[in-house]
Amino acid sequence: MKPKTIDSPSQESRIQHQESSSRFSIQVEDLSKRFNREWVFKDLNYVFQSGKTYAITGPNGSGKSTLLQILWGQLPQTSGTITYSSRGVGIPNEEIFSHLSIATPYMDLIDEFTLREQLQFHFKMRAISSGFTIENIIDKLYLADAKDKNISNFSSGMKQRLKLGLAFFTESSILFLDEPGTNLDDRAFQWYNDNLAEVPKEKLILIATNQKDEYPEEAEIVDLRWFK
């Protein structure tokens, strides 16, 4: 079974206002981003809905990470609009961060903290997913032997697993994953796929990647080459 692909941006995932009644949605209209004189992408019209996984694809430099950073509020768009809503009720842009979790290779961790301290710090600010505790998250990360080790002494793969774990086990409506397989060995990559499959089905998931094994077969593909 091949991943679901929309043949052109004019098809089923173009803006349809009746879809706004879904549990959580991100609606973008004519979204465009330019750096200096170069357009990264132009006139993106899409509705991202809860209960679905979207693979944001395209060649290197096509704007995959840039799009995710705009959608989660880190970067401003050059033009166009983004509307967040839950069950048809709009959510102010300044409140969106409390609804999402993020994992990226470039996300900072606090090197001076131990693993346990990093988790305690994070979950003082964000709610932990139902049914989890810091101790069983440590076990889920397969990092029990490193729970009192400073993160500065973690390998790049251990750090990436921790970043993914913080995203997977934070209570949120939207999960953003940017190149999630970075620095993972085969065992850790299987761990990633296993935990991705366990994400609650009602969550909205966006994955920026060029690797087909980083997103599930049922993912809806958004190829940024369409929006140049």
Encode pLDDT of 11-68 as tens digits. 444 444 434 345 899 999 999 999 998 999 999 999 999 999 999 999 998 999 999 9
So where are the chain's domains? 4-227
Name residue, tokens 């809806």.
Answer: 220
Mean pLDDT of all residues in 205-209 = 98
pLDDT for position 22: 52
Cα torsion angle, 119, 124, 195, 7, sign: negative
pLDDT for position 6: 45
pLDDT for position 4: 46
pLDDT for position 52: 97
Question: How many whole angstroms from its chain centre is CA 107?
Answer: 12
Mean pLDDT of all residues in 147-154 = 97
Distance CA 91, CA 85 (A): 5
pLDDT for position 7: 44
Q: Output DSSP code: residue 62.
A: S
pLDDT for position 3: 45
pLDDT for position 10: 44
Architecture of domain 4-227: 3-Layer(aba) Sandwich (3.40)
Mean pLDDT of all residues in 88-102 = 93
Encode pLDDT of 99-135 as tens digits. 999 999 999 999 999 999 999 999 999 999 999 999 9
pLDDT for position 106: 94
Report the run of H or E that residue 156 belongs to, with start and end. Answer: helix 156-168
Encode pLDDT of 161-206 as tens digits. 999 999 999 999 999 999 999 999 999 999 999 999 999 999 999 9
